[in-house]
């Protein structure tokens, strides 16, 4: 199981360390007990995510996060696709891709007053959960996803306190 974070932005930004984000997200992935497999996370700029948002959602603006699951889910942890849920001995499965716009998240972080790293990780967690059938279209779905996001964020903060102190 691995969450890989790649930096695909045109700007060099020493404040953002993809390897650190990858370590945090791998800890979150384990704590959320998501199915064994791989996820790719791409850090992108507003132009890139706006293009994806236009091409795949018909929206002509940047957004903070987009998820592209490779499998269909009926609800969290209940797959529509008929593949066996892999275990640690199975060949790796790429569950999907998550794209996060650091520019958009930086603006949101500035407006909220929360640290940038927390906002980036929060949006990555949100994107991860979408890959596994979580959504927020109804109150029930929203509550379920919010609870999972909080578990993930608590895990991330705990990992950062332990490893960045």
CATH number of the structural domain spanning residue 43: 3.40.390.30
Pair of tokens at residue 110: 């500035």
CA 127 remoteness from chain centre:
3
Give CA–CA dist 101/105, Å, rounded.
6
Backbone angles phi, psi at 32, to 5 degrees: -80, -5
Give me the pLDDT at residue 25, please. 95
Give the structural domain span for 61.
2-163
Distance CA(93)–CA(37), nearest Å, equals 5
Quick one: pLDDT at residue 91?
A: 74
Report pLDDT for 66. Answer: 97
pLDDT recorded at residue 83: 66
Number of domains composing the chain: 1
3-class SS of residue 88: coil
Report pLDDT for 113.
87
One pLDDT digit (tens) per residue for the chain, 165 residues: 587 787 766 555 657 788 999 999 999 999 999 887 889 999 999 999 999 999 999 999 999 999 999 888 777 867 766 666 666 677 778 889 999 999 999 999 888 888 999 999 999 999 999 999 999 999 999 999 999 999 999 999 999 999 986
Give the pair of three-digit tokens for residue 24.
């945090």
User: What secondary structure letter does DSSP report for 37?
Assistant: S
Q: Is 18 within 8 Å of 102 (Cβ atoms)? A: no
CA–CA dist 87, 104 (Å, integer): 36
The pLDDT value recorded for residue 80 is 67
Instruction: Specify whether the CB–CB gap between 25 and 161 falls below 8 A.
Output: no
Q: How far apart are the first and last CA of the chain?
A: 26
Helix axes 139-163, 18-31, angle to 10 degrees: 120
* Predicted model pTM: 0.88
């Amino acid at each position: 199981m691995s969450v890989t974070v790649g930096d695909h932005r045109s700007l060099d930004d020493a404040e953002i360390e993809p390897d650190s984000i990858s370590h945090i997200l791998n800890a979150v992935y384990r704590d959320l007990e998501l199915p064994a497999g791989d996820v790719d996370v791409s850090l992108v700029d507003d132009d890139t995510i706006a293009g994806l948002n236009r091409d795949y959602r018909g929206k002509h603006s940047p957004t903070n996060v987009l998820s592209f699951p490779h499998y269909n889910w009926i609800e969290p942890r209940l797959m529509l696709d008929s593949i066996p849920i892999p275990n640690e001995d199975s060949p790796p499965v790429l569950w999907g891709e998550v794209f996060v716009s650091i520019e958009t998240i930086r603006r949101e972080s500035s407006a909220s007053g929360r640290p940038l790293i927390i906002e980036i990780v929060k949006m990555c967690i949100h994107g991860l959960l979408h890959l596994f059938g979580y959504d927020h279209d109804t109150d029930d779905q929203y509550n379920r996803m919010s609870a999972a996001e909080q578990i993930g964020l608590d895990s991330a903060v705990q990992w950062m306190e332990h490893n960045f102190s």
